[in-house]
Amino acid sequence: MAEEPWLTGDELAAWVRLVAVVELLPGVLDGQLRRDEHLMHFEYFVLAMLSEAPEHTLQMRDLAARTYATLPRLSHVVRRLEERGLVARAPCPGDGRAINASLTQAGWAAVRAAATGHAATVREHVFDVLSLEQVGQLKDITTAILSRLDPDERLAVAYTRYDHGPSRP
């Protein structure tokens, strides 16, 4: 008879802490961005990914991969950003069936304004409580988990893009 797949005491203690972080951290990030910049965290993430792209433009499918979003969710958020003048959509010149999303000048200004406060919030709530060794361990742990969640590395371009240093808006 196969052994039951129950978690050990240490596994359960680690698991509930990971769940708590996954549940609590988005609210902290959303709260700061909403208060300071009138943006939701995912909206900021979309703007940030466009800010790092060549000519501040990505095809919607590539933007979806970089933001870990489904196309319907991304389309909804991009529409809201478009209504605020932060993003513009247009047919892709190289592929008439594809749509490009581009950061507008107002979008560039918004992501630049939000970046400092967002980085400070991430530092305060995540990295200030970790040693340099723990930061390395966190990277190793998340890399191991991602190897199971994304075994074909379809989304690796999104989570390995900073392996050789940061990119700033």
Question: Both 74 and 151 in a single domain?
Answer: no
* Token duo for residue 95: 């592929």
First to last CA, the chain: 56
Which range of residues forms the domain containing residue 99?
27-127
Taking only the tens of pLDDT, the chain with its 169 residues reads 567 789 999 999 999 999 999 999 999 999 999 999 999 999 999 999 999 999 999 999 999 999 999 999 999 999 999 999 999 999 999 888 999 999 999 999 999 999 999 999 999 999 999 999 999 999 999 999 999 999 999 888 888 888 877 655 5
Query: What 3-state class would DSSP assign to 161?
Result: coil
Q: Are residues 85 and 145 in the same domain?
A: no
Q: 3-state class of 157 per DSSP?
A: helix
Residue 38 within any structural domain of the chain? yes
pTM: 0.88
**Pick from 126, 101, 116: which is nearest to 37 by CA?**
116
Assess whether 47 and 64 both reside in one domain.
yes
Overall domain count for the chain: 2
**For residue 50, what pLDDT is reported?**
97
To the nearest 10 degrees (0 to 180), the angle between helices 60-67 and 41-52 is 120
Alpha helices (H) along the chain: 9-37, 41-52, 60-67, 71-83, 105-125, 132-149, 156-159
Residue 104 in domain: yes
Domain match, 102 and 47 both: yes
